[in-house]
């Protein structure tokens, strides 16, 4: 079992560990700042932030299994979306990933709002899965839109040079 929330409900260790890996695994000596794989993988243009957003979906899915209310699921999805948008900005977004820590925010929300323990978190309600599916669909649409805008801007830049 992992850390419990104020309601004595535990969440699974895999979910806790993923949040730690994505946001806090490394420590900057002297400054004490922590950052994770989200900031490092995000440095890979085009696929880095997409990959870490997909990993963040695991935490969102875990929240469904733990019976987190839909409004909290929406907030968690918004954290992922904001992290993705922020992270897609070259350099600035990668620095922001060090401080924003959407996965740790989502782990805290999961701990606070979980209604089902890790032992009982085998599945979620169908309506919750449909709701999260909608959130993920919106986030994927955001991804596709950002790719389309990037391609458009690059093509305009390219035609400006030629």
Note the pLDDT tens digit of each residue in 98-145: 888 999 999 999 999 988 776 666 666 788 888 888 988 988 888 888
In a domain, 146, yes or no: yes
In a domain, 46, yes or no: yes
Q: Which residues contact 132 (CB under 8 A, 6 or more apart)?
A: 60, 61, 63, 64, 73, 77
In a domain, 5, yes or no: no
Segments forming the whole domain that contains residue 122: 13-161
- The count of domains in the chain is 1
Please state the pTM of the whole predicted model: 0.77
In a domain, 44, yes or no: yes
Computed over every residue of the chain, the mean pLDDT equals 85
pLDDT above 70: percentage of residues in the chain: 90
In a domain, 1, yes or no: no
């Amino acid at each position: 079992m992992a850390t419990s929330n104020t309601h004595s409900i535990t969440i699974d260790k895999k979910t806790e560990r993923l949040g730690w890996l994505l946001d806090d695994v490394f420590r900057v000596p002297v400054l004490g700042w922590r950052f994770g794989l989200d900031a490092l993988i995000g440095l890979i243009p085009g696929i880095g932030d997409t990959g870490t957003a997909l990993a963040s979906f695991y935490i969102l899915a875990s929240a469904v299994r733990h019976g987190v209310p839909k409004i909290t699921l929406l907030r968690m999805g918004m954290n992922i979306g904001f992290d993705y948008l922020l992270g897609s900005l070259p350099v600035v977004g990668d620095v922001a990933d060090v401080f924003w820590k959407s996965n740790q925010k989502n782990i805290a929300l999961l701990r606070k709002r979980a209604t089902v323990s890790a032992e009982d978190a085998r599945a979620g309600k169908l309506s919750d899965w449909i709701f999260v599916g909608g959130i993920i669909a919106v986030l994927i649409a955001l991804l596709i839109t950002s790719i389309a805008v990037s391609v458009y801007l690059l093509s305009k830049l390219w035609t400006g040079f030629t």
